[in-house]
Amino acid sequence: MLSSRRSLCSILMLVLLSGGASLSAAPTVEEAVNLIASRLDQEQVKDGLDAGAWPLEMYFTGPIAAGMVCAYERTEDPAYLASAHLAGQWIFDTAAVYGALLGDETYAFTRLSELSEDPNQNPWRDALVDFFLSHRNPDITGTTEEYLRVFEELEPSTATYHIAYLLVAADYVQDADVDVYRQALLRYLSGVDDKADFPVMALGVATWALIATDTPAETLVASDDAVPNSYWEGLTVGDLPELLAGHQVPEGEVLAGSFYWRFDHTDGGTEGVIAGYTEDTIFGTLGLIAAALKDPEGAGEPADLAIAAAEQALLSGIDEDGLVYLHLAMQGPTYNAFAGEMLQALWSVEEYWDWRAEMEMEMEAEVVAEQE
């Protein structure tokens, strides 16, 4: 997540409205994954002190590493997994020096652990266990709650992003303080409004993390002792998917399938851009998919249509060189961090379609069994 994205030139809207950028000419998922992952593999530093990182984006190695794991899982290209392992080692070595992991780095370790020969015993999982244990070390931070106070220095949507990843990783290793991370995520999310840098993105990543970690649907976003802004008052985790879906650009509109960046669907007095930022759509998509996967009975045509629209919007933001831009209209700067997040989203989309196919096959088998 890079804070420079709001500096996109206002000329973008002129390009979109004139038809100069089309969201219809897009690669297939398989093509997109290989375009992105092969480029990332080629551009990764392979030797020396910085082996495993990407030039100029060393401290965004976490999302890129996680994306390369996802690329390997879809394609089984060993080069992508080797790249992810090299990136993971860079993160590991850097964390040993600075004594900490970023939120998205813990997710990279989670994905590396999941694809290890033994997911329950491997260096990536061990590193996560040690990381979460260290926050209960009285000689360092004292408690997890005290550690999490460092995020008060960030604006709330950025804090929400990092703590969402921390929650998913803590849940993966079944850390004793997983609920502390959950409550912190809710607390920071309830502080997000349209004054934040990335309101809808924060909603998307929080929805993904909370649902993926089986947070009870009746859990209030803003606790009883909090002073929520009006946007969150009375809302529960179970309300988040519908709330998120309401921020997806509908069919027939410019940038359909992408997501608005603000809750009020305006440009916020910036430069005329109201929707289509790549990260908003990536994390909005992840949130919608997490909700659909947890509700098999409710995941029908509406979910399929929303996810399919998001998929096409995402694919349309990838150019022929595998570059991923600030905006899905292929405008603004390009970052490898966006590319890594894009790989995560495309992997999640394909997992959803595989799941839907399995569900349909099971339903057909049940019908046949009943007829017999």
**pLDDT tens-digit readout, 263-311:** 999 999 877 899 999 999 999 999 999 999 988 666 678 899 999 999 9
pLDDT tens-place string over residues 92-111: 999 876 768 999 999 999 99
User: In the 8-state DSSP scheme, what is residue 7?
Assistant: G
pLDDT of residue 124: 97
Mean pLDDT to the nearest integer, 119-139: 91
Q: What share of the chain is helix, strand, coil (3-state, %, to 5)?
A: 60, 5, 35
CA 104 – CA 140 distance, rounded (Å): 22
Domain ranges of the chain: 29-371
Amino acid at 162: H
Say whether 277 sits in a helix, a strand or coil.
Answer: strand
- State how far the Cα of 281 lies from the Cα of 247, in Å rounded to an integer: 10
29-371 is classed CATH 3.40.50.300: no
Residue 335, φ and ψ in degrees, nearest 5: -140, 145
Phi, psi of 260 (to 5 degrees): -65, 155
Q: What is the pTM of this model?
A: 0.92
Please give the pLDDT value at position 86. 98
